[in-house]
Structure 1
Amino acid sequence: MNVKNTNNDGQLPKETESYWIKSTEMKSFTQLKNDIEVEVAIIGGGITGITTAYALIKEGFKVAIFEASSVLNGTTGHTTAKITAQHGLIYDELIQHFGKEKARLYYEANLNAAKYIENNIDLHGIECEYRKEDAYLYTTSSDYLADLEKEAEAYRKLGIDGEYTESIPLDLNVKAAVIMKNQAQFHPLQYVTRLLDYIKENGGEIYENSVATRMEDGNPAIVHFKNESKVTAKYVISSSHFPFHDGRGYFARMHPERSYVIAAKPEKTFPGGMYINAEQPTRSIRSVTINGEEFLLFSGDGHKTGQGKVEMKHYEALEKFAKENFNTKNILYRWSAQDLVTVDKVPYIGKISAGHENIFIATGFRKWGMTTSTVAALLITDLIIGKANPYEDLYTPSRFVVDPSIKEIIKENVNVATNLIGGKLERPDKELKDIKEGEGSVVTIKGARAGAYKTETGELFVVDTTCTHMGCEVNWNGGDKTWDCPCHGSRFSFEGEVMEGPAARPLKKIDPNSIDYTKS
């Protein structure tokens, strides 16, 4: 598909838009409107839910996918799409906390997932710009040399195909790097849309704009939806971010992080490879072909959702890095993504808890969703069909690793409490009359905190800023024009509609016509 070049001035695009979504002919599906029965109900229409449905249909199951908005419009459509087992500085840490055997299992699980993706591409003849690349974890800081040396030693202990080096193909002031060889990259939506075709061709059902709100445990289980429809299923799989059915406190065992991406054209030919630095802020680099020309995706600058500096500053930081190091001139796209990080950095995949043998979750992918989604699909499929899987104990959601879990849980709960109290005490200086076209902000209305956004045409939207999950106060994200919760990462549109959980209900709307805001 030819994608129109809409920006030639070297500046950041005005609006967020994912290249993956823009360059893909997205399919649409109907909303669930009636009560139905299926063997497997999958909540979440991203790469995890779709790959799981694909795997289960191949095993002969009757499967239905239920997506709250549009399929592939969440994290999958906003990823950097690296298919790799190199997940930053992780293997030395895994050895320290889990032991050598489980660290090796983590590597094997992701390596097998990458091979599964490659096999599917070959089996179905999928044109998705799949390309093998070495993955480089590098540092430009002497402070991280010891960490990279430890990571290289972990590679050696675990038999990972890689090596330590003091140089990389990029012209950066690199002190050292660790290479993981024969990894890959692709166009994620071109791959996953072919799996969607297979699902439909083989009797799978797909529903969009179908918001799951709660579940009745049992066998079968009953999933209730926002429009009062019900789905009865022998197995239920939650593959959305926070489990929609969270009676086990997962929101307190994970924290949400946002990261940012720009697609820019470099002046020089790119030497190949995929790159990510070890230090903060993160700088991740890979190539992509747009309209027959080579562009680079620069990503990173992550932070906890709803916290930190003004969101546009993160895009600007990536723009500055790209221009300084690659002399980029043309920035076609910018977008952001959100993912969850567990307290021990290993995803939660498997049975939601003991005693609930037919309820499964897959969450906490720590921004490495391309391989982890497939790990989840294969593991959950094995659990349903009763096949032994060597990775079950590693990923089980019911695990508790004393160190670092206790420290991280305490730290995250302190962070939540700080934001909860701080938000309640804040009294912004801005009032409704101060909001300009195209601007959003927290404002004070008659002494109370509220949120306001005015469109370019002057239409005003006002919401109560109290998050409907646990009562924290949301903050304005000017980069994406959303209201983001700093406590557990719920995100709402400027109109107040839920975009990402764990919140299930929209922000309360305030009618601006009922407010005399010139006197507020």
Structure 2
Amino acid sequence: MSILNNGEGKLPDQLSSYWLKSTKPPSFPSIENDLQVDVVIVGGGITGITTAYLLVKEGFQVAVIEASTIFNGTTGHTTAKVTAQHGLIYDEFIQHFGEEKARLYYEANKEAAEHIAELIHLHGIDCDFKKEDAYVYTNSNDSIQKLKNEYEAYKRLGIEGEYVDSLPLDIGNIKGAVVMKNQAQFHPLHYLTQLVDFIKESGGEIYEQSVATHMDISEKPIVHLRNGAKITAQHVISASHFPFHDNRGYFARLHPKRSYVVAAKPEKSFPGGMYINAETPTRSIRSVNVEGEEVLLFSGDGHKTGQGEPEKEHYEALEKFAKDEFGAKEILYRWSAQDLVTDDKVPYIGCSNEDDKRVLVATGFRKWGMTTSMVAAQLMKDILIGKANRYKDLFAPSRFTADPGLKTMVKENVNVATNLISGKLNRPDKEIKDVKEGEGAVVSIKGGRAGAFKKMDGQLFIVDTTCTHMGCEINWNSADQTWDCPCHGSRFSVEGEVIEGPAERPLKRIDPDSIDYTTS
């Protein structure tokens, strides 16, 4: 099935998240006047909402602000696995950090999954919560030893699991798998909607279409919004995916990755369980109930943001996998997501500056945000109430791990420098007249570089392709119809508006009527 444009410069309905399409969360006003609260949380995804829920229970006066609408970011585009099995990670963590820290990482996420289950039971939340075993499998002899090493790590860390030679699932020629028992899956937005109701009932405030631009840090931090309003608080929590206030160089310590999801009806029966392969490209599988029918989510095919051209081929690869392995004939939904990875693969959660409780941050979840969001919420709540938390040092944003952190930082910064230089040297061979309806492309205008998108009705949008963050040259994302930066992952709409940070300012717009096409 082809990916089509609907003539409005947006993606068609089929290119949307099932979670968002099947949920009707409440809407909230934007902030128009100055506000003073105990805690302001920037970001209305699962981390921000969960943290607000825990803090209002502690008696804090809390305001959550969201730049667009709640749940509309990474949270609304997840695969929603509630698991401590974050790929093949535990053997690696033991090698890099030692057994104690690896065990802490597992126990933090195990406890987070249990807290989620407790909240669902406490509030009677109908969110399709279901216990499932989680598998990392391989079809390649090259990965068997990695799986066996991971199982040995499970045994050393006390993880309930086993190594198996086959799967309940008939998928290719399975060579082996490591299974983590009693994990779970759910509908994340049905779960969060109930937490939002509790926050409102407890006096918490939520605001949408309220863009935080910067912050003054004095005795009481002041968050400034794009419309001129200000929020004064005792504490500011950045739960906005990329930290909106980057005073610690997070842009150089976080690496943006995109991944893709297709929802399809399988022809053959599904035995249950959650699956992800050990190789690349990633193939992740779980089931979801869509209007009484079993549908499978196939996800993966990830790449660094702005470096996956042409992006629509990643959807096509997942669709082919669904068809070849499960006989899928109908694709119901397609969507993509972006998340950030730290240098050492452990999220940054806690005080942005040592033990200064005025500004806290939660970021770098490496596409495993369901349990990690609860880890973050619990840890930041404990910091604010002065309660000891044994995971504080593990996730501290101020930490530095030489191995593998230094190697990763050097590698990623070389990648950034390469893309910065190549983008400046690259001269597009397309001109504006070559751009078809429903298409976007980098074009040449009088020897310069620009980005052009033409709607189906012929309306033309032209932007300067220089990213407003640090000057890298953006690329066209053909799948999501956005302009993506290959250096630090900023993303912009066809009109040039910021979709993802670290960029704060929109791209410069170029008036099509101002261009002399005879010399362009």
Give 1:213 deviation, angstroms: 1.0
CA distance in 2 between counterparts of 1:29 and 1:441 reads: 36
For residue 71 of structure 1, what is the aligned residue in structure 2?
Answer: 70
Counterpart contact for 1:139–1:279, Cα < 8 Å: yes
1:264-317 per-residue CA deviation (whole Å, 9 max, x = no partner) reads 000011100000001100000000111211110000000000003300000000
Per the TM alignment, residue 209 of structure 1 is displaced from its structure 2 partner at its CA by 1.0
Using the alignment, how far apart are the partners of 2:363 and 2:181 within structure 1?
27
Task: Give, in angstroms, the shift of residue 262 of structure 1.
Answer: 0.1
CA–CA distance in 2 between the matches of 1:35 and 1:236? 15
Contact 1:431–1:517 at 8 Å: present in 2 too? no
> What one-letter code is carried by the residue in structure 2 that aligns with 1:126?
I
1:432–1:518 contact (8 Å) kept in structure 2: no
8 Å CA contact retained: 1:12, 1:319? no
Distance 1:196 1:467 in 2: 35
Counterparts of 2:156 and 2:234, CA distance in 1 = 42
Supply the RMSD in Å over aligned alpha carbons: 1.0
Q: Name the stretch that deviates more: 241-250 or 379-388.
A: 241-250
Amino acid at match of 1:170: L
Which letter does structure 2 place at the counterpart of 1:374?
M
Correspondence for 2:368: 368
Q: CA offsets per residue over residues 315-359 of structure 1, 9 Å max, x none? A: 000011111100101101000000000000000000001263221
Q: Shift of residue 516 of structure 1?
A: 2.8
**What's the CA shift for 1:508?**
0.5
Aligned-pair identity in percent equals 69
How many residues are aligned here? 511
CA contact (8 A) 1:495 1:509 kept: yes
Partner of 1:26: 25
SS in structure 1 of the partner of residue 390 of structure 2: coil
CA distance in 1, matches of 2:310, 2:435: 17
- Determine helix, strand or coil for the equivalent of 1:271: coil
Counterpart of 1:69, as a letter, is S
- Paired residue for 1:56? 55
Mean Cα deviation higher: 212-221 or 337-346? 212-221
Query: Is this contact kept in 2: 1:235–1:359, CA < 8 A?
Result: yes
Report 1:299-378 matches (<5 A): 299-354=299-354, 356-378=356-378
Partners of 1:257 and 1:349 in 2: CA distance = 19
SS at match of 2:275: strand
**Distance between the aligned counterparts of 1:275 and 1:170, measured in 2?**
9
Give the distance between the partners of 1:273 and 1:199, measured in 2 at CA: 33
Moved over 6 A (4+): none
Paired residues of 1:419 and 1:486 also in contact (CA < 8 A):
yes
- Tell me which residue corresponds to 1:170: 169
1:296 counterpart = 2:296: yes
Q: For 2:123 and 2:4, how far apart are their aligned partners in 1? A: 36
- Give the Cα–Cα distance (whole angstroms) in 1 for the partners of residues 253 and 369 of structure 2: 18
In 2, Cα distance between the equivalents of 1:67 and 1:326?
39
Of residues 348-357 and 105-114 in structure 1, the stretch that sits farther from structure 2 once superposed is 348-357
Partner of 2:153: 154
Q: What's the CA shift for 1:12?
A: 5.8
Structure 2 gap ranges (5+): 6-11
8 Å contact kept, 2:282–2:302: yes
8 Å Cα contact 1:52-1:381 kept in structure 2: yes
What is the rounded CA distance, in whole Å, between the counterparts of 1:183 and 1:11 in structure 2?
35
1:420-441 alpha-carbon deviations (Å, 9 max, x no partner): 1111111101111111110000
Q: Secondary structure at the match of 1:45?
A: coil
CA contact (8 A) 2:440 2:481 kept: yes
Q: Is the Cα–Cα contact under 8 Å of residues 77 and 335 in structure 2 kept in the other structure?
A: yes
Does the Cα contact within 8 Å between 1:13 and 1:332 map onto a contact in 2?
A: no
The correspondence of residues 26-425 of structure 1 with structure 2, limited to 5 A, is 26-172=25-171, 173-354=173-354, 356-425=356-425
The answer as to whether partners of 1:264 and 1:328 remain within 8 angstroms in 2 is yes
Residue equivalent to 2:9: none
* Structure 1: gaps of 5 or more residues: 1-9
1:26 Cα deviation after fit = 2.7
TM-score (norm 2): 0.97
Task: Out of 30-39 and 508-517, give the one that drifted further.
Answer: 508-517
Answer yes or no: is the 8 Å Cα contact 2:96–2:403 preserved in 1: yes
Letter in 2 for 1:405: G
The whole-number CA distance in structure 1 between the counterparts of 2:3 and 2:441 is: 21
Equivalent pair of 2:3/2:479 in contact (CA under 8 Å): no
In structure 2, C-alpha distance between the alignment counterparts of 1:511 and 1:309, rounded to whole Å: 27
CA contact (8 A) 1:92 1:151 kept: yes
**Amino acid aligned to 2:266:** P
SS in 1 for 2:441: strand
Q: Which amino acid aligns with 2:65?
A: F
Q: Answer whether contact 2:3 2:312 (CA < 8 A) is retained.
A: no
1:142-176 Cα offsets, whole Å, 9 max, x none, are 11111101100000000000000010011121100
Whether the 8 Å contact between 2:80 and 2:187 is mirrored in structure 1 is: yes
User: Letter of the aligned partner of 1:61 in structure 2?
Assistant: F
Determine helix, strand or coil for the equivalent of 2:210: coil
Q: How far apart are residue 361 of structure 1 and its match? A: 0.2
Distance 1:313 1:79 in 2: 20
Q: Which residue does 2:427 correspond to in 1?
A: 427
Tell me: CA distance 1:447–1:234, structure 2 relative to 1, closer, same or farther (3 Å). same
